Structure 1
Amino acid sequence: MRVEADLLGTREVPSEAYWGVHTLRACENFRVGGETVGAAPGLVFALAAVKEAAAEANVELGLLEPRLGKAIVAACQDLRRGQLADQFPISLIQGGAGTSTNMNANEVIANRALELLGESKGCYGLISPNEHVNLGQSTNDVYPTALKLATIYNCRALVAALEVFQRACERKALEFDHIVKMGRTQLQDAVPMTLGQEFRSFAVTIGEDVERLTEAMGHLHEINLGATAIGTGLNTHPLYAALVREKLENVTGLPVTTSPDLVEATQDCGVFVLVSAAVKRAAIKLSKISSDLRLLSSGPRAGFAEINLPARQAGSSIMPGKVNPVIPELVNQVAFEIMGADVTISLAAEAGQLQLNAFEPIIAASLFRGIEHLRAAVLTLSETCIDGITANERTLEDHMARSIGLVTALSPYLGYHLSGEIAAEALLTGTPVVDLVRQRQLLDPNLLEHLLQPHVIAGGGQLPSVVQTPFPREL
């Protein structure tokens, strides 16, 4: 063990630990379980990037000895390579506006830098977590900046997963373009469409969410690094804010900009509300699609049974042979979680007081968890469900033949009144609409055959030129 001191006294810390007394107290105080800082690799990477940029700026400004700065930078680079993640044991959810997370990073970086210099951990007379690693910084500018960077990395992964789903739906759309089915509104027969159009709509709607998420991510590039405690830049070199921004851009490759008003930027969490809303929107869309897949595959004998989802596991401990739509159900549940998390993020953003929001840790935990769960869920949906979906063409044909909704496609030629009569008779007798039209010789057989072609019946065909008016004279 080694002994470390803080304002509350001294404590023993395991000699092999890279963290120190501040991390120890935080672990004791915030015993809520769940995700730790180390379990959020994007956040550790972002914290290390901020500390690396700060060290480089302080060396260039003559505020930090180059030898020490080089060791700190090397330690930060180790963290950015994924090393020492187990040295961040604090819960993501914590009091103190993220101070414990910042202290944890300072201690780990200081002790790794000391190790690189051949010194023992805890020799803070040479490299101090606060005096050197945290030089020119405050939790109140380090933590929000790191959260924004980490959210960018996490959102990029989510966008990539959504694009995988989009491409999977586009492939199914092409595969199913020739299959005609009944579209439905309010769970009632509406008008014909193709199964390809149904899956293409899934691809298009998620493509819109890719765009909305990308737009929201753009706002995350505005940072408050250099603000220190409340945005006044207290205890920093006059050139520090501009220089550390430049260094952070070089370290991360992200086009970050310094907020024009650091006081406002230090207290405002609006960007996380915006990103959360975009994530929630994508989750809601994916949940709706998943519910559609469950409905379309319901049965397999007493439901819609228009498509088959890949069988993934046994569905019941009592009903032999039952298979459930477990993958869409997973997506539904993740969406429910994200909708609840969005409320948490909204409340936390509103609860900030005066010059600081103390509730950014719960924003981070809620946002990171939701993004990661949605990323994993949408990849699972794409790879283990969408790719393996097949169509029950005979069932779809039967639904089409029996549906009175088909009459809507013929109404421009029959007229609304006559079409209503045909629909009522079809519903009463069970005779298909097409058979009634043929029996009563209401349309030329060639025209009827043309109107029933998939590309025409689904809205992609043109009216034949022989039709002079959309409605014929009364028959």
Structure 2
Amino acid sequence: MSTVAEIISKIPLLQELETEQAEQAARLFSVKRFAAGEVIHKEGTRRDQLVLIQSGSVEILQLREGNQPLITYGPDDVLGEGVLLGDADYFTTAIAKTTVDSLVADGEKLREMLDSDDALKIRVYGQVIDDLLVRMTRLAPRGTRASLELLPGNTRMEKDLLGDKEVPADAYFGIQTARAMDNFQISGIPISLYPDFIASFALVKIAAAKANRDCGVISNDVCEGIEAAAHEIIQGKWLEQFSVDVIQGGAGTSTNMNVNEVIANRALELMGHEKGDYEYCRPNDDVNASQSTNDVYPTALKLTMLTSNQRLLAELKRLVAAFRAKGQEFEDVLKMGRTHLQDAVPMTLGQEFEAFALTIEGEIAGLETGARMLLHINMGGTAVGTGLNAPSGYSDKVVEYLRKETGFPFELALNLVEATSDTQGFVTYSAHLRSLAIKLIKVCNDLRLMASGPRSGFSEINLPERQPGSSIMPGKVNPVIPEVINQVCFKIMGNDLAVSMAAQAAQLQLNVMEPVIAASVLESIRMMMNGSSTLRNNCIQDITANHEKCRHYVDHSVGVVTALVPVLGYKPSTALAAEALKTGKGLVELIREKGLLTEAQIEEILEPERMAWPLGR
């Protein structure tokens, strides 16, 4: 029977925990059974527990939407992950559909454990945001947007440069978001499907509000309202309010204004006012004070990439460890190495898998280098980098607050004019993702070749069987996991091209194409992270070796003739190989017939193990 720590280690949300930390967390969980129909948590009440479902099913619904079920969760699913971010209210209700056996932990105690390790906290927070993203994706087809519809008597009127426009009365977004939703129906992917991006904007807004308060631009009350509203967004609330398409014109202004409006309207409520009562907290003059989309958007994108990169690196390190474990498992499995798809010289299967581990490990270093370029930001540069409308001292203060809020060592760019139009940090990081994709394509191609057959191919390894392979050919099982990873990598390479094209499209003091850069890079990171996890869990960990087949290739290959070159010379060795291929005789047989070597020499020189490790292990 699995221990609590072992169960925790299988939950993606808690895989960031080291062994000792997992044991510590395990002591916080207790077994709990919920009867069918019992409420596990209710919307509007404080988050207080993390629930790991072991058996049974749980229905998630929103009471304000007429009790319509949104989704059903089952074994290994997690409920209440937002409790790791804070004790904000639940915004859904969970009811046991059947008898549910679970492990339950107190949220406050879990947060105390995370507070003791800032690096771990950032990684777990990132995983929570990823889980919320998956949840939003699963809910997307059902789209709970009843409160956002324009119904008679269910609107408020807002005004901007272009005139008046009705906005849903219950919406936290405002007129500029509404216009963007009308204008940019492009990809069908709303920014709500990138909650980590939205959370990064909220963190930037908190830092900006505190800097503006210190500089006397906004009052302390407004600052506190902005901060409280932004923290709710960071905790995963109000995601449905961010419906602007991720691809948009305007250099990201629509996304920035979507964030400004939601924060302003929620801050108004928290301050005791009505939505749209902008006299007390204004989207532009307060939430966006001393800012421009041209410094906020790239800064939020860099923060998102840095946070996502930490999770990606953690997943890649787990993939490297899986390859390395197989390298150790297969260290004594002799096989033929191949060049040009032809027999070369003997090696071990373990050496091959260790090479896979090292090739990915090298790309981790590249991603770490690329991520460091994202630490230079242009906050305070405002529109073109001159700092117009930002008070003296604001830039240094906002950067310092952003350091404190995020834990990343951000630095103000040396030249804000140059930094405002420069996107090379995005280009460089995307290029490292492309490089990793190229490496993974090669690895997956090798896995497919090595597993080809099973009767008429290499058949050196067995990939785990994941699904029937054909709708017409009975018994066929295909290497679907390496195949899907190849496709992931193709997409990442295409996204990198889009990033490069967008970067070179910069004109004068701004690159207006940053939204497609954001969409491309964030999709690439997510796909690489999911792909790496899929490759590890559904393929690498369960690969087995065909020892006899590998040895058969070694024993019947003329590739071992290479070891004779230092003794017989290249030309005689070539003639010997040609004769073996022509006659079908073995090399050793021919050597004995011709009396070229003594038995002791044959044993010493043509020992496959010696050829695999000519310099010793």
TM-score, scaled to structure 1: 0.95
Alpha-carbon contact 1:407-1:423 (below 8 Å) kept: yes
Q: Is contact 1:402–1:430 with CA below 8 Å preserved after alignment?
A: no
Please give the alpha-carbon distance, in whole angstroms, between the structure 2 residues aligned to 1:278 and 1:370.
11
Q: Does 1:99 align with 2:253?
A: yes
The reply to whether residue 370 of structure 1 matches residue 524 of structure 2 is yes
Among 325, 330, 339, the residue aligned to 1:171: 325
Q: Of the candidates 6, 22, 28, which is equivalent to residue 176 of structure 2?
A: 22
The question of 1:221 aligning with 2:375 is answered yes
Residue 202 (1) aligns with residue 356 (2): yes
Equivalent position of 1:395 in the other structure: 549
Correspondence for 1:43 among 174, 197, 220: 197
Give the Cα–Cα distance (whole angstroms) in 2 for the partners of residues 86 and 449 of structure 1.
72
The equivalent residue for 1:140 is 294
Given that 1:38 and 1:44 are in contact with CA atoms closer than 8 Å, whether structure 2 keeps it comes out as yes
Determine if contact 2:180/2:254 at 8 Å carries over to the other structure: yes
Confirm whether residue 330 of structure 1 aligns to residue 484 of structure 2.
yes
1:363-422 Cα deviation digits (max 9, x unpaired)? 000111111111111110111101111111111111112211111123222322221122
CA shift for structure 1 position 441? 4.4
Per the TM alignment, residue 434 of structure 1 is displaced from its structure 2 partner at its CA by 3.1
Deviates more, 1:416-425 or 1:210-219: 416-425
Instruction: Tell me the equivalent position of 2:316.
Output: 162
1:298 aligns to what? 452
In 1, the alpha carbon distance for the partners of 2:521 and 2:467 equals 31
2: CA distance, partners of 1:135 / 1:347: 32
Classify 1:123/1:462 alpha carbon distance in 2 versus 1 (closer, same or farther; 3 Å): closer
Equivalent residue, structure 2, for 1:236? 390
**Aligned residue type for 2:517:** I
Distance 1:389 1:309 in 2: 5
Contact 2:202/2:233, CA 8 A, preserved across alignment? yes
Structure with greater contact order relative to length (CA < 8 Å, sep ≥ 6): 1
Q: Quote the residue 1:443 is aligned against.
A: 597
C-alpha distance in structure 1 between counterparts of 2:325 and 2:584, whole Å: 36
Which residue of structure 1 aligns with residue 579 of structure 2? 425
Alignment of 1:378-393 (within 5 A): 378-393=532-547
**Residue type at the aligned position of 1:341:** N
Aligned length: 463
Secondary structure in 2 matching 1:5: strand
Q: 1:204 is aligned with what amino acid?
A: L
Which structure 1 segments of 5+ residues have no match?
Answer: 464-475
Give 2:340's match in structure 1, choosing from 186, 190, 194: 186
Tell me, yes or no, if the aligned pair for 2:560 and 2:606 is still in contact at 8 Å.
no
Task: Please tell me whether residue 85 in structure 1 is matched to residue 205 in structure 2.
Answer: no
CA offset digits 1:223-272 (Å, max 9, x no partner): 00000000000011110001111011111110000001000000011111
Deviation at 1:193, TM superposition (A): 0.8
- Alignment partners' CA distance in 2, 1:257 and 1:441: 74
Q: Is residue 241–residue 262 contact of structure 2 (8 Å, CA) maintained in 1?
A: yes
Equivalent-residue separation in structure 2 for 1:187 and 1:122 (angstroms): 68
Map of 2:279 onto structure 1: 125
Offset from partner CA, 1:309-365 (integer Å, 9 cap, x none): 111000000000000011001011111111111111111000010000000000000
Instruction: Describe the SS at the equivalent of 1:147.
Output: helix
Asked if 2 retains the 8 angstrom alpha-carbon contact of 1:176 and 1:195, the reply is: yes
How far residue 198 of structure 1 moved from its aligned partner, in angstroms, is 0.7
Does residue 68 in structure 1 map to residue 248 in structure 2?
A: no
Structure 2 CA distance for partners of 1:317 and 1:462, relative to 1, 3 Å: closer
Structure 2 runs not aligned, ≥5 long:
1-154
TM-score by length of 2: 0.73
1:93 is paired with a residue whose SS is coil
Deviation at 1:431, TM superposition (A): 2.0
Secondary structure in 1 aligned to 2:499? helix
Counterparts of 1:260-339 in structure 2 under 5 Å? Answer: 260-339=414-493
Q: Which residue is equivalent to 1:469?
A: none
Partners of 1:207 and 1:444 lie apart in 2 by 45
Q: One-letter code of the match for 1:76?
A: A
C-alpha distance in structure 2 between counterparts of 1:70 and 1:342, whole Å: 40
- Could you tell me how far apart the structure 2 residues matched to 1:34 and 1:160 are? 30
Provide the identity percentage. 50
* Contact preservation (8 Å) 1:140, 1:266: yes
Deviates more, 1:70-79 or 1:34-43: 34-43
CA apart distance, 1:462: 5.5
- Aligned residue type for 2:253: T
Q: Which amino acid aligns with 2:330?
A: F
Q: Cα–Cα, structure 1 residues 61 and 455, in superposed 2: closer, same or farther, change >3 Å? A: farther
One-letter amino acid matched to 1:45: A
Distance 1:155 1:201, change over 3 A: same
CA distance in 2, matches of 1:158, 1:455: 38
Q: Does 1:347 align with 2:501?
A: yes
Structure 1 position 194, deviation (Å): 0.7
**1:361 aligned partner:** 515
Q: Which region of structure 1 is more displaced relative to structure 2, 128-137 or 422-431? A: 422-431
Q: Distance in 2 between matches of 1:191 and 1:434?
A: 16
Aligned to 2:335, the other structure's residue is in SS state strand
More helix by share: 1
- Asked if structure 2 preserves the Cα contact closer than 8 Å seen for 1:280 and 1:339, the reply is yes
The structure whose residues are more often strand, as a share, is: 2
Letter in 1 for 2:506: G
Q: Secondary structure at the match of 2:343?
A: strand
For residues 453 and 56 of structure 1, the distance between their equivalents in structure 2, rounded to whole angstroms, comes to: 72
> Contact 1:401 / 1:434 at 8 angstroms: preserved in 2?
no
Give, in angstroms, the shift of residue 461 of structure 1: 3.5
Preserved CA contact (<8 Å) 1:402 1:431: no
In the alignment, which residue of structure 1 is the partner of 2:613?
459
